[in-house]
Amino acid sequence: MSIKLDINRFSAETLGLPVLLEVDMPRGYKKDGSFAGKVYQKGHPFYGNLDKPNYFKKGHKPYYWKGGKYKNNGYIFILKPEHPFCNAIGYVREHRLVVEKYLKRYLKPKERVHHINEIKDDNRIENLMLFKNQTYHSWFHCKGFCNPKGIIFDGRQ
């Protein structure tokens, strides 16, 4: 097993220095919004591990294996441990994956997917909308419309 340096562990914060860098894009993203590389979230079992873990080797089932799919609070989660915004156990909400596949890019954590018919596991692309952030999303919930600026994708069209 080789040891690789995770520069995030040696940030100014860790060293007790004031953090001068202003970061308005999540880890793994460039300033222009394009995806820079694979990054695991804090709390993820592979956080800070830049090697391909043997969990991914053929036939190997990770300890959190649940068939690659589970449901929580009505939402479907899919196993995608390589996804930059997977949760602590390596899963991503399926509706976000569907929109990502359609837009051919990762969704920013701020961006919110909406189910048009309110059925949380109906993840057909024509049932989904993508909002710039939660403010536009909740506005849409209250009023049934919002500033078109806040809508990135609309499955109704």
Closest CB to Zn ion among residues 79, 128:
128
- Best CA proximity match to 66, nearest among 76, 54, 79: 79
Closest CB to Zn ion among residues 83, 114:
114
What distance, in Å, lies between the first and last C-alpha atoms of the chain? 51
- Sheet containing 75-79, strands listed edge to edge, beginning at the edge strand earlier in sequence: 69-72, 75-79, 91-93
How many angstroms separate the CA atoms of 77 and 71, rounded?
6
Q: Report the amino acid identity of residue 54.
A: N
Closest CB to Zn ion among residues 96, 114:
114
Binding mask 62-101 for Zn ion (x = CB under 5 A): ----------------------------------------
The binder of Zn ion chosen from 114, 123, 128, 155 (CB under 5 A): 114
Q: Give the residue at shortest CB distance from Zn ion.
A: 114
**Residue 154: DSSP 8-state:** E
Q: Which stretch binds Zn ion (CB under 5 A): 3-11, 38-46, 100-108, 112-120?
A: 112-120
How far, in Å, are 7, 11, 12, 48, 107 from residue 17 at the CA level? Answer: 15, 9, 5, 21, 32
Q: Which stretch binds Zn ion (CB under 5 A): 58-66, 85-93, 106-114, 142-150?
A: 106-114
Q: Which stretch binds Zn ion (CB under 5 A): 2-10, 13-21, 86-94, 107-115?
A: 107-115
- Residues forming contacts to Zn ion in the complex (CB under 5 A) are 114
